[in-house]
Amino acid sequence: MATNMMVVETERELSFAERLQLSSRREFLSTVVLSAGAMPLFAQQKSINPPQYSAKVMRPANVHDIAEVARRTVDPATFDYIEGGTEDEITLRHNVEAFQRVALRRRVMVDVSEIDTSLEYLGQQLQAPILLCPTTKNAIVPNGDRVSAQAAHATNTIYHVSNALGWIDELYQANQAPVWIGATLGHVTSRQAQGWARRHEEAGASALVVTVDHQYTPNRDRNIRNGYGNYAAGVLRPTTPSVTWDYLEWLRSGSKLPLILKGILTGEDAELAVEHGAAAISVSNHGGRAFDGAVPTLMALPEVVEAVGGRIPVLIDGGVRRGGDILKALALGATAVMLGRAYVYGLAAFGQVGVQRVVEMLTGELKVAMGLAGIPNLAAIDRSLVRLPWER
């Protein structure tokens, strides 16, 4: 009986409602098939994942989160040393705000199935336009400068450092040495400059960088309050006040390495840097740690780029916290950015892998920003990509 009822149920004519339900199901399945063919992102492009570390290293969503981990990891005075600027920290804030005020003019209907961030800088092939600034890190974590050098090697980026001679040979022997550039604030005599340049060339430096915006020790109020380092309120303490353009000739008499000037903020000084044979310059205000009230670096960048006129590479540092910031800097004419606080946050939070994570995170963010802006490679980035606050 049950069998006969089943046969009758199977063979009876479908009702209108049942035919409608079946038709809707077929249309849905057809739509899924067509949609899969119409979405090449899913069908053709695979996700590109960064290197993986422990869960605690991978948990922060961005550099700001990593900075918060650093704040909780080191003592308050050390974090103030990382985070702080000079005096009222106006330039420090304006560096970051300048990037926030610049808008990107994205383009659409561009094939961005492949994103290429590679470039050549001073004869070196890099995976991304990201370099590491010379910042003193041994006070933050033990052997911080050396640890950061190993991170630079792991991420194939260029490392600027002022005290490499004591340990760089050991990294060469361990095959952990990055491409590195010797950094200095200057010297009082030509003999000192010559000897410094010669020793760094012999040790394997690929170039020499002179930080030109630190003639006197600035007023770093946070450090003064905390008794951190050798800072004092209202004291005129010279660093290298006698350094002039002649200093470049002193260095050349001791080494044939390319010379980079860090701390250029005006078109006039950029033109003089080119005239005096600089191989590259960095638009920098020392991350707001030298002279409070100085022009934000992103604001100074167009003027410097115009003065240089493509004759030498132009770098920028100060205020970079996101991959989109890097894209904005490149659109305004920078060849690459130099990270300072961003990677020091990583060092303070997680050590070597923290530095690596910051570089890799910002590289990934840059690729995402390029893809969403319709930019497949660095050569496709130009001034039309950005709109400045005062432009309509």
Active-site positions? Answer: 286
Say if residues 387 and 125 touch (Cβ distance below 8 Å): no
* Extended beta strands in the chain, E state: 103-104, 119-121, 124-126, 130-132, 159-161, 180-184, 207-211, 259-264, 280-283, 314-317, 336-339, 386-387
Report d(CA 337, CA 299) in Å as an integer.
Answer: 14
Any idea what the Cα angle at residue 41 is, between residues 36 and 47, rounded to 5°?
Answer: 125
User: Where are the alpha helices (H) located in 134-189, listed in sequence order?
Assistant: 144-154, 168-173
Helix (H, G, I), strand (E, B) or coil at 142: coil
Write phi, then psi, for 96 (nearest 5 degrees): -70, -45
Distances (CA, A) of 96 to 140, 149, 273, 276: 23, 26, 26, 31
Give the residue from 319, 302, 312 showing the smallest Cα distance to 281: 312
What's 302's DSSP letter?
Answer: H
Token pair 């991304």 is found at 128
Tokens of 345: 């946050």
The 10 Å CB-count burial string (b at 16+, else e) for 129-141 is bbbbbbbebeebb
Tell me the three state secondary structure of residue 159.
Answer: strand
Task: Calculate the dihedral angle through the C-alpha atoms of 150, 154, 155, 157, rounding to the nearest 10 degrees.
Answer: 50
Do the Cβ atoms of 173 and 368 come closer than 8 Å?
A: no
The residue among 142, 104, 135, 117 whose CA lies nearest residue 50 is: 117
How far apart are alpha carbons 356 and 297 in whole angstroms?
Answer: 25
* Two structure tokens written together for 326: 């890097």
